[in-house]
Every structure is written in structure tokens, then in C-alpha cells.
Structure 1
Amino acid sequence: MKQIVKKAVGIFLFLWANQLAGLAQFSDTVNHYINFSGTGNLNKTNTGTTYLLNNTARFQVNKKKISLNSMAGYVYGRNPTIKTNDDFLATLNLDFLKDVQKFYYWALTGYEKSFSLKVDSRFQAGAGVGYVFVNSDKANLELSDGFLFETTDLGVVDVHGRTSYQAARNSLRLKYRFLIKEIVRIDGTNFFQPSLSDGRDYILKLNTSVSVNLYKWLNFTTSFNYNRQNITSTENLLMTYGLSMEKYF
């Protein structure tokens, strides 16, 4: 199974690299976007310090019919007695025809390691379709659905007594962006991923951020993140604030 996963990752990265090379040949029609956000929170008392750091980097390459979106995020947190978070997530997805018609196609691969959710490693890869309800400079609303293959190693036993398993999942995503008076921006990406074979096995990810523009490329950002892995009854809730930097080129 691990060999199959490695081959799948290799094929996806090969296709991704070739697609980037193809886009580079037509750089006059390609748009790029890069974003980095550093947020967190801190609470210091006589008994100790509790803190949380949430850092995320995003890079996008957009052409008329194809767009590539990559993201990597890392969360680290401690309270006076123990480590609470040591979580890493990276995703890469390809959208086809999203900017030219309502229906579009997508492919995605992702890797996750989460101390707070008790996930030693999780790899997902899949594809599906999406529908764009609104797509303008001030608003975007889209819904997508598809299927994922997943292989997971857990740090604790699940409800079935396992620490390792493979699963096929449905993946439903709601994504939105709203811009208010060129100053305030609301971004959200939310996933519901139930197993096709086990009703107790689902993953829920809710992510929303609100950014206030301070300068051309600088924003004050607050973030809300909620994650639940039902098969191990583990979850986390993160509310952080800080700065984000972005650039289109």
C-alpha cells in the first residue's frame, strides 16, 4: 500500500511540474499570487504562559483554464505543563475550467501530521467536480464534491482498535470570499469528508479568516479554525490574530 501511495504522489508531482513548465511558456497570460500569514495568541499569568503560533503560506498560479493552488501551514502551541499543538498540513490542488464556466473539475493531494488530532501521518489524493455560484472581484462562492483515497497512521487507537487504516471518502467543500469596500476581506474554506464505508468515520474542517487592509500588501488578520476527527474523538479549535502579507505578480 505504501508503494502505491508513493507512486501516486510521484505521478501527481510529475504532472504538476510539467504543468508549471507549460504555464511558464505563456507567462504573459499567467497570474501569480503569494501570501504569508503569521498569527497567534498569548496568555501569561502567575502560573505560566500559554501560547499558540499559526503560520500559513500560500502560492497560486492562475491561467484562463487552469489554476494551481498550494498551501502549507504549521501550528505550534504550549500551555504551562504540556505541548498542545504540533500540527502540519500541506495541500496542492488543480482546478480546470473554473474561470471560464460554472462547472469545473478539480484534483487534490494533501499531507497532514497533527499532534492535537493524534494523526501521525495522513495522505489524501482524489478528484471531483465543482460549481461556481458567484465569481467577481468582490465576491466568490463555490461548492465542490468528489472522492478521495486516504491512508492514515494514528497516534492513538480508533473506535475499531486500529492505529493504521485506508479509506475512501466523499469530500464536500464550501469555499467563499467577500470583499467589503476594498478594505475588509472574508475568506473561508470548509470541508466535510465522511468515509464511504463507516458512518462513524468523518473529518470536519472549518476555516474562516477576516482581514483588514493596512497597506497595499499588508493586512491585519484574525483566523478561526476548527478540526474534528470523529473516529478518534479528537478535535481542536484555534482563534488567532496577527499580520498577513500578500502580492500579485
Structure 2
Amino acid sequence: MPVGGNSSVFQKGVSEKLHLINAVCMKFILFSLFFFLNIGFVYGQFSDSLTHRVRLSTSGTFNKTSEGMTYLLNNSGNFSVKKKRFVMNTNAAWLYGGTLETMTNNDVNASVDFNVYNKKVPDFYYWGLVNFTSSFSLKINEQVQSGLGLAYRIVNKENLMFSVSDGILYERSNIIQPDSAEFGYQTVRNSLRLQLNWKHKDFITLTGSGFWQPSLTYRNDHIVTTNLNVGFKVWRWVTLNTALNYNLISRTEKENFILTYGIVFERFF
């Protein structure tokens, strides 16, 4: 078959894949709208009467020029429960992107984390985490982390919170090394995190966090993760959001820098 014919078949296949991705995202948005329209208009933040939160977001970027098209789609969901001295969060996210010729991102992350607060010192708390990651862009086939630690809220005001935490993680990973060989290993990491939350009159919100996770058993093995989100509430439970994420995996010598913008649906009950 002529080369042009192969190219045509390939582009048709990619086009069909893009249509499928767009259809999935559209169903996600429609489901989110249906869900929120049917559960009411309660909104705000955690309180004595509002102890549960559902947060759904869809975002992405598209860039089409005469030389081709690039796209990035990012969908995520979060469910949180807060009691007097206990908070639990479950999170799931899927990032997919590329060009008409190649796939650049197919990254999945799921986690469960909890905080247990000290009654005598409310700004001091314990945390626990179980996290799963699979990332095409960072060359991680699978990574499972679990651990415990301590945290302290240095600033804890109604519109501003800044905290620092530290702990120990056990990790089991299967990665693709720079020489393209698969490598499975286990390690123990220290996990240092800085976290910031700021809001202005429930209209503008800024949240950010940064992780540094060096291995305690392997030299030159560390993970850096940072994220920053800026949101503008446009109507009760609807927020326009811009997210900036950076990830570095020294073991695979891979990093990514991701900027997306989209919409967030958030409901307290």
C-alpha cells in the first residue's frame, strides 16, 4: 500500500480516538451537571452541619496550528468526609494527551488520605496516605506508596492556611529506566510537604502544595511534585479553574510541566 494510504488510515484512527475522548469528557460534564442540579444548591465549606464534600473537575488545553494539533485532557474527582477530629479524602485523576502522531500523556492517579487532629493542640495533626500512580509521561508502569507522618498548621486563619508536614513512606515501583529497561524495586522515602490555601470573599481561591520525597536507601533517587490552582467562583457550586503542575522523577530522568484550565463542580452536604 502506498505510504500516503498508511498515513490516511493512521490519521483516521487517531481522529476516531479523539472523538471518543471528547465523547467521554462530554458525558463526564453532563453527568456532573445532572448530579449537581439534582442534589440542590448547598454550598460553602465544612461546618458542623456540612460534613461531606464532592468535587468534580474537567479541564484541558488544545492547540491547533498549520503544523498540527496538540491536546491535553485532565479529569478528576474527590470525595471528602470531615468529623470533629478526623478528615478523610479520596481522589482519582486521569490525564491524557498527545498529538495526531504520538501519545505524550496517559497518567492515572488514585489516593486515599486522612488527617487526625489533636484535641489539645488543634493545629497539630497526624496524617496517613495510600497512593497509586501510573504515568506514561514519567515512565512509571506502577507505583504504590503508603505512609504516616506529622503536620503543623503554622498559619490557620479563616481565609489563609499554611502548613508543613513530614513523614515516612514505603514505596513499591516498577519503572522504565533511561536505557528503556524495566526495573522493579522497593524503597523507603522521607516525605516533606508544604501546603497553602488562600481565599478572598469566597470568590477567588488559591491552593498549592509541594512535595520533596528523597529515598532513604538509594542515592540520587528523589521525587519532586508541585501544584498550584487558582479558582474563580462564577455561580454557587461552579468555579473556573486554572491548574499548574510540575513533576520530576530522578530515577527515570523524566519530568513534566502541565498547564490546564477548565471547570470545577463542588458541593457540600
| Offset at residue 79 of structure 1 (A) | 1.4
In the alignment, structure 1 residue 138 sits paired with structure 2 residue 164: no
In the alignment, structure 1 residue 117 sits paired with structure 2 residue 173: no
Matched residues, percent identical? 36
Could you tell me whether the CA contact under 8 Å between 2:123 and 2:156 is conserved in 1? Answer: no
Q: Paired residue for 1:68?
A: 88
Q: Paired residue for 1:19?
A: none
> What is the 5 A alignment of 1:83-98?
83-97=103-117
1:28-64 alpha-carbon deviations (Å, 9 max, x no partner): 7660111111111000122321000011111110011
| Offset at residue 183 of structure 1 (A) | 1.0
Q: Paired residue for 2:225?
A: 205
In the alignment, structure 1 residue 151 sits paired with structure 2 residue 172: yes
Query: CA 1:90–1:98 in 2, change beyond 3 Å: closer, same or farther?
Result: farther
Letter aligned with residue 165 of structure 1: Y
| Offset at residue 129 of structure 1 (A) | 0.4
Q: Paired residue for 1:181?
A: 201
Q: 1:34 aligns with which of 42, 46, 54?
A: 54
Could you tell me whether the CA contact under 8 Å between 1:47 and 1:80 is conserved in 2? Answer: no
Q: Paired residue for 1:219?
A: 239
Q: In the aligned structure 2, how far is the partner of 1:102 from the partner of 1:181?
A: 23
Q: In the aligned structure 1, how far is the partner of 2:61 from the partner of 2:258?
A: 9
| Offset at residue 98 of structure 1 (A) | 6.0
Q: 2:126 aligns with which of 105, 109, 119?
A: 105
Could you tell me whether the CA contact under 8 Å between 1:29 and 1:63 is conserved in 2? Answer: no
| Offset at residue 162 of structure 1 (A) | 6.0
Letter aligned with residue 140 of structure 2: V
Unaligned runs of 5+ residues in structure 1 are: 1-27
Query: CA 1:157–1:207 in 2, change beyond 3 Å: closer, same or farther?
Result: same
Give the aligned length.
220
| Offset at residue 214 of structure 1 (A) | 0.2
SS class of match (1:163): strand
Q: In the aligned structure 1, how far is the partner of 2:61 from the partner of 2:256?
A: 15
Q: In the aligned structure 2, how far is the partner of 1:104 from the partner of 1:190?
A: 18
Q: In the aligned structure 2, how far is the partner of 1:239 from the partner of 1:223?
A: 6
Q: In the aligned structure 2, how far is the partner of 1:121 from the partner of 1:234?
A: 15
Letter aligned with residue 102 of structure 1: D
Unaligned runs of 5+ residues in structure 2 are: 1-47
Question: Normalising by structure 1, what TM-score?
Answer: 0.84
> In angstroms, what is the RMSD of aligned CA positions?
1.7
Query: CA 1:98–1:86 in 2, change beyond 3 Å: closer, same or farther?
Result: farther
| Offset at residue 134 of structure 1 (A) | 2.1
Could you tell me whether the CA contact under 8 Å between 2:115 and 2:126 is conserved in 1? Answer: yes
Q: Which has the larger radius of gyration?
A: 2
| Offset at residue 226 of structure 1 (A) | 0.5
Q: Paired residue for 2:100?
A: 80
SS class of match (1:197): coil
Q: Paired residue for 1:241?
A: 261
Query: CA 1:162–1:53 in 2, change beyond 3 Å: closer, same or farther?
Result: closer
Could you tell me whether the CA contact under 8 Å between 2:195 and 2:208 is conserved in 1? Answer: yes
Structure 1: which 4+ aligned runs deviate by more than 3 Å? none
Q: In the aligned structure 2, how far is the partner of 1:39 from the partner of 1:184?
A: 18
Q: Paired residue for 1:127?
A: 148
